[in-house]
């Protein structure tokens, strides 16, 4: 599998606004999502992926599923 750089992406503004309104202190899941963008960057894992081949899952996605 090869690594094609993927960012976590932005949460739509309306979704973020509603989530903060419903959970003003946040949730564990919200905090994890916020932290993963800083903890796991695709570039850090480039050496573990082949140069050619079918695209693999992004490291941040694998970490999120594992946690």
pLDDT in tens, the chain (67 residues): 567 666 667 789 999 999 999 999 999 888 877 776 666 677 777 787 788 888 777 777 777 777 6
pLDDT of the residue at 23: 95
Asked whether 65 and 12 are in contact (CB, 8 A), the reply is no
Asked whether 2 and 56 are in contact (CB, 8 A), the reply is yes
Taking the mean position of all CA atoms in its chain, how far away is CA 20?
A: 19
Length of the chain as a residue count: 67
């Amino acid at each position: 599998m090869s690594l094609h750089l993927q960012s976590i992406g932005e949460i739509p503004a309306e979704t973020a606004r509603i989530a903060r309104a419903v959970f003003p202190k946040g949730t564990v899941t919200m905090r994890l999502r916020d932290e993963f963008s800083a903890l796991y960057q695709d570039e850090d894992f480039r050496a573990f992926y082949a140069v050619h081949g079918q695209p693999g899952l992004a490291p941040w996605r694998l970490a999120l599923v594992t946690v």
